[in-house]
Amino acid sequence: MTWLDLPDDHPFGLHNLPYGVFSVGPDGEHRVGVRVGDHVLDLAACAERAGMESAAVWRDGSLDAFLAEGRPAWTAARDWLQEHLANEAQRDCVEPDLVPVRDVTMHLPFAVADYVDFYASEHHASNVGRMFRPDSEPLTPNWRHLPIGYHGRAGTVVVSGTDVVRPTGQRKPPSEPTPTFGPSTRLDIEAELGFVVGGATALGDRVAVADADDHLFGVVLLNDWSARDLQAWEYVPLGPFLGKSFATSVGPWVVTTDALRAARVPLPGQDPEPLPYLQGDGAYGLDIHVEVEWNGTVVSRPEFRDMYWSPAQMLAHLTVNGATVRPGDLFGSGTISGPEPRQRGCFLELTWSGRDAVTLDDGSERTFLEDGDTVVLRATAPGPDARPVGFGECVGTVRPAR
Ligand code: MN
């Protein structure tokens, strides 16, 4: 308990302190903030009042400069924040810069540099393999040897609350002789976590698994909206393209990897043993509970601890060829799916490609998304002393094709 009078089990207590960018009112100036309880602390204003030399890093209304600074600065900022928020003597310095969260509008917290999406859930990859390639092995021969990924479109990563316009494009069901064109009829979500990368590497360098934590700043909720009809027709031989690139939503709060230390768990097990560059002390899993809500009904509760590949292995793999890391790089985990039907993180799997409709609480049935549908992702993780670490929400509503 501190002068802030927060209950110990508040998901945004001092053990969490996620970063975001807010304005007071939709058109106000963008400010870097830290969520504490039901308030947002205006970081630049508070750090300037406190006479903190490094306050300038937060003045631009984006996390970009802070992400560039790297691990020592992230740790120092967290220590400084926890001390100022806990210590009664600092109350007069901090309290004037606390804004009620109900008064703020959240914005994209950083300029997304490169965006990559992985495919790290064995359950998801196996289910999709069974549906897309029923006559082959569910997993491709490379799947257990490397974290499969593709390069997505950084410029269409949007913050929670941004509407998603139904994409239009080509599709060709196997039963049809030629492709047709029109609004997607199989619009889906993918419940994922996104990993926010900071610091930088030189072209030609790699990030080892054991050093990945130096670059893994934090974690956001991520919804990889997917047009399955477009995807199925275009993805051979070069992977997802227009079926994915129209929009990717991220949650407004970047939960730091420091806040997730108590959530580290062993991976579920890798067989065969990965190549040496994919091994190391940083190859841990994360115990993060995810929830998928469709028009107010919770339809799935995937567990991130079921993921086959660790975030550190994904970062080591994406740099093993010498590709650089830049501040603001974002990589998605891939759809989080578990072994149980109600742990499947996309509607393609939940409805088995549209065969088994999901019944929502209002009695309506769904296979894929209809115009006006709203999807909300939420997550929590265990923090120190089992206090919950909240991620907030990642919300998106589907609007008709244009
Ligand atoms: Mn995805």
pLDDT (tens digit per residue) in 174-226: 899 999 999 999 999 999 999 999 999 999 999 999 999 999 999 999 999 99
Please state, as a whole number, how many other Cβ atoms lie within 10 Å of the Cβ of residue 181: 8
Residue 13 lies in a domain: no
Q: Exposure of 262 by Cβ count < 10 A (0-12 exposed, 13-18 middle, 19+ buried)? A: middle
Q: What is the mean pLDDT of residues 379-385?
A: 97
Distance 204 CA to ligand 1 centre (A): 27
| pLDDT given at position 1 | 53
Q: Is residue 310 a part of any domain in this protein? A: yes
- Give the distance (Å) from ligand 1 centre to CA of residue 346: 9
Model confidence at 75: pLDDT above 70: yes
Q: Residue 46 belongs to what domain range?
A: 19-107
Same domain, 83 and 149: no
In a domain, 231, yes or no: yes
Evaluate whether residue 135 is within a structural domain.
Answer: yes
Residue 39 Cα to ligand 1 midpoint, Å, equals 32
User: Does residue 187 lie in a domain region?
Assistant: yes
Instruction: Specify the pLDDT at position 54.
Output: 81
pTM for this predicted structure: 0.98
Q: Contact 217/197 with Cβ under 8 angstroms? A: yes
Q: What is the mean pLDDT of the chain?
A: 96
Dist. CA 124–CA 308, nearest whole Å:
10
> For 159, left (φ over 0), alpha (ψ -120 to 50), or beta?
beta
* Residues sharing a CB contact under 8 Å with residue 323, sequence separation 6 or more, in sequence order: 203
Token pair of 317, please?
């793999």
* Residues 253 and 320 placed together within one structural domain of the fold: yes
Confidence class of residue 291 from pLDDT cuts 50, 70 and 90? very high
CB < 8 Å & 24+ apart, contacts of 200-203: 200/68, 200/324, 200/325, 200/326, 200/327, 201/319, 201/324, 201/325, 202/324, 203/322, 203/323, 203/324
Q: Mapping DSSP to helix (H, G, I), strand (E, B) and coil, where does residue 305 land?
A: helix
Dump pLDDT digits (tens) for 146-180: 999 999 999 999 999 999 999 999 999 989 999 99
**Gap from CA of 273 to ligand 1 centroid (Å):** 25
The domain boundary, picked from 75, 107, 139, lies at: 107
Q: What's the average model confidence in pLDDT over 91-102?
A: 95
The percentage of residues in the chain with a pLDDT greater than 90, rounded to a whole number, is 94
CA 224 to ligand 1 center in whole angstroms: 5
> Is 44 in the same domain as 135?
no
270 and 384 together in one domain? yes
Residue 1 lies in a domain: no
Question: Does 52 have pLDDT greater than 90?
Answer: no
Whether residue 4 is contained in a domain is answered as no
CATH of the domain at 40: 2.30.30.230
- Number of other CB atoms surrounding residue 30 within 10 Å: 16
Residue 58: both structure tokens together: 């937060």
pLDDT of residue 25: 85
Domain's final residue, options 107, 124, 148: 107
Per-residue pLDDT, 4: 87
Average pLDDT over every residue of 296-322: 98
Which positions ≥6 away from 148 have C-beta within 8 Å?
A: 118, 119, 125, 140, 142
Residue type, position 194, single letter:
G
- The CA 323 to ligand 1 mean position distance, Å, reads 21
Same-domain check for residues 46 and 194: no
Same domain, 39 and 187: no
Q: Examine the residue annotation and report whether 124 is marked as an active-site residue of this protein.
A: yes
Q: How many CB atoms lie within 10 A of CB 384?
A: 13
Whole-angstrom distance, CA of residue 179 vs CA of residue 309: 36
* Shared domain check, 220 and 99: no
Looking at per-residue confidence, does 372 or 25 come out higher?
A: 372
Q: Is residue 316 part of a domain?
A: yes
What does the alpha-carbon distance between residue 266 and residue 377 come to, in Å, rounded to a whole number?
24
Considering 123, 124, 215, 317, which one is annotated as catalytic? 124
Pair 178, 325 in one domain: yes
Residue 2's pLDDT is what?
A: 73
Determine the pLDDT at residue 5: 86
Same-domain pairing of 88 and 129: no
**Strand 248-250 to strand 264-265: parallel, antiparallel, or no bridges (unpaired)?**
unpaired
C-alpha dihedral, 335 to 341 to 343 to 349, nearest 10° = 20
- Whether residue 79 is found in the same domain as residue 202: no
Distance in angstroms (rounded) separating the CA atoms of residues 380 and 382: 7
123 and 235 in a common domain: yes
Residue 55 has, within 13 A of its CA and on its CB side, a CA count of 13
Mean pLDDT in residue range 120-145: 95
% the chain with pLDDT above 70? 100
Is there a single domain that holds both residue 251 and residue 211? yes
Counted domains in the chain: 2
User: What's the whole-number mean pLDDT along residues 364-391?
Assistant: 97
- CA–CA distance, 134 with 78 (Å, rounded to integer): 49
Whichever domain contains 212, its CATH number is 3.90.850.10
Last residue of a domain, one of 107, 136, 169: 107
Model confidence at 26, in pLDDT bands (50, 70, 90)?
confident
